[in-house]
Structure 1
Amino acid sequence: MTVKTSTLQNIFRILLALFMVYAGISHLSFNRIDFQAQVPDWVPLSKDLVVILSGIVEIVLGLGLALWKNKRIEFGGALAIFFVLIFPGNISQYIEGRDAFGALDSDRARLIRLFFQPVLIAWALWSSGAWKSYQLKKNKANSTH
């Protein structure tokens, strides 16, 4: 099933893709230590490994979202799931009071940041057409029953 996206959605999809590639590169280089503050202590891997792996995932998802147009819905859905999966790290950073990135240096700043995760999830689903695709499939399934 082909889902058309608007020019605005495509612009926002590319912006999100560029943001993800940039974030992924920063995981592997200049923000590597800061991202370790988000890895909860209960994760059974080294914090550095988690940051490296998540950076690679971000780069792959960003490139896929930008360049693999016929799979943009799948990449948008995968990115939304990724944002859900990393959310416990953001919560952990808030609960543990771990500073990072210069700007996340207070409980208030870390709390405000938590409210942006649903925005990122919605952005990935909307800009890729994944939400519309899901709705169309759901409506189709309901009409055949």
Structure 2
Amino acid sequence: MAADPPAISRARTVARIVLAAAYLAVGIIHLRSPGGFLPIVPDWVPYPREVVLATGVAEIAGAVGLMTPRLRRAAAWGLAAYAVCVYPANIKHAMEGIAVSGQVLGWGYHGPRLLAQPVIVWWALWAGGVTDWPFRRRS
């Protein structure tokens, strides 16, 4: 992969910082308040509390890795895979109208959230330098 032009490099850096900050914050929330996430864990997931805690650790590790140059690409792949793996919980949350922290969120939240999941997968891969799409230069 060729070096990014300065504007793309800056954008990628900002995207990486924002994504890492978001995953760090959510990871801490998963560890501090796992019970709030248990209702959206699909029934077929074994050991739901432990899985919620593990997702918190994965989010924090991904955030740290994304900001560590030698770990960045691996973290990007890990966060992209993570975003795919938690999609069933997002679907359950939306389809069953589950209250989290006493609040039921409507389709004004769930629709965009579900549609954004592929963007989050791409975001991790782009911010981590795995892909240049759609910004690659044509030869």
**TM-score category by the smaller chain?**
0.7 to 0.9
Answer 1 or 2: higher relative contact order, Cα 8 Å, separation at least 6.
1
Q: How does 1:23-102 map to 2 (within 5 A)?
A: 23-29=26-32, 31-45=33-47, 47-66=48-67, 68-101=68-101
Following superposition, the deviation at residue 38 of structure 1 comes to: 2.2
Name stretches of at least 5 consecutive residues in structure 1 with no aligned partner: 137-145
Q: TM-score, normalised by structure 2?
A: 0.81
Contact kept in structure 1, 2:65 and 2:74, CA below 8 Å: no
Q: CA 1:111 to 1:104, structure 2 compared with 1: closer, same or farther past 3 Å?
A: farther
Distance 2:110 2:104 in 1: 6
Distance 1:3 1:130 in 2: 13
Q: Does 1:17 align with 2:45?
A: no
Contact kept in structure 2, 1:80 and 1:121, CA below 8 Å: yes
Question: After superposition, what is the alpha-carbon deviation per residue over 1:74-103, rounded to whole angstroms, capped at 9, x for unaligned?
Answer: 211111111011111111112222122566
| Matched residue SS, 2:46 | coil
Q: CA 1:25 to 1:52, structure 2 compared with 1: closer, same or farther past 3 Å?
A: same
Contact kept in structure 2, 1:27 and 1:35, CA below 8 Å: yes
Q: Does 1:106 align with 2:80?
A: no
Question: After superposition, what is the alpha-carbon deviation per residue over 1:7-57, rounded to whole angstroms, capped at 9, x for unaligned?
Answer: 11011101111111111000011x422222321011122x22111111011
Q: CA 1:104 to 1:73, structure 2 compared with 1: closer, same or farther past 3 Å?
A: farther
Distance 1:103 1:6 in 2: 39
- AA aligned to 1:111 is G
Contact kept in structure 2, 1:103 and 1:109, CA below 8 Å: no
2:9 is matched with 6
Q: CA 1:74 to 1:125, structure 2 compared with 1: closer, same or farther past 3 Å?
A: same
Q: TM-score, normalised by structure 1?
A: 0.78
Task: Calculate percent identity across the aligned residue pairs.
Answer: 34
